[in-house]
Amino acid sequence: GEDVEQSLFLSVREGDSSVINCTYTDSSSTYLYWYKQEPGAGLQLLTYIFSNMDMKQDQRLTVLLNKKDKHLSLRIADTQTGDSAIYFCAETPSLSGNTGKLIFGQGTTLQVKP
């Protein structure tokens, strides 16, 4: 079945770049998403990439997609303490049709040290 895997924890210093990685199993996924969750809050959509793209940049965020290896990454440049949160990778599995169902990874907790 479909599966999305992420490492659970990443710690960086303020000002450094953060790279959060995600692997998925469904090679026919159409969209892949990155969501951010701050403590006690809902999920906020950060960015997404369509499966026929290999890179997308949006201000400090860069998404890289390697379809051959089924690997997705989110790079945050000049990481700030306000970036501390849990980051979720999610895919739209091919078997979901147009239901909009998403498969989420376990989430990566990003800790930014001053």
Interaction site with another protein (CB under 8 A): 4, 8, 31, 33, 35, 40-45, 48, 88, 92, 98-102, 104-107
In whole angstroms, how close is the CB of 98 to another protein at the nearest point? 4
Q: Which is nearer to another protein, 10 or 102 (CB)?
A: 102
Q: How far is the CB of 27 from another protein (least distance, A)?
A: 19
Provide the pairing of β-strand 43-50 with 31-37. antiparallel
Work out the number of other CB atoms within 10 angstroms of the CB of residue 96. 16
> Is the CB of 50 or the CB of 54 nearer to another protein?
50
Q: For tokens 């989110």, what's the residue?
A: 74
What number of CA atoms fall less than 13 Å from residue 90's CA on the CB side? 19
Q: Among residues 100 and 114, whose Cβ is nearest to another protein?
A: 100
Asked if 109 contacts 86 with a C-beta cutoff of 8 angstroms, the reply is: yes
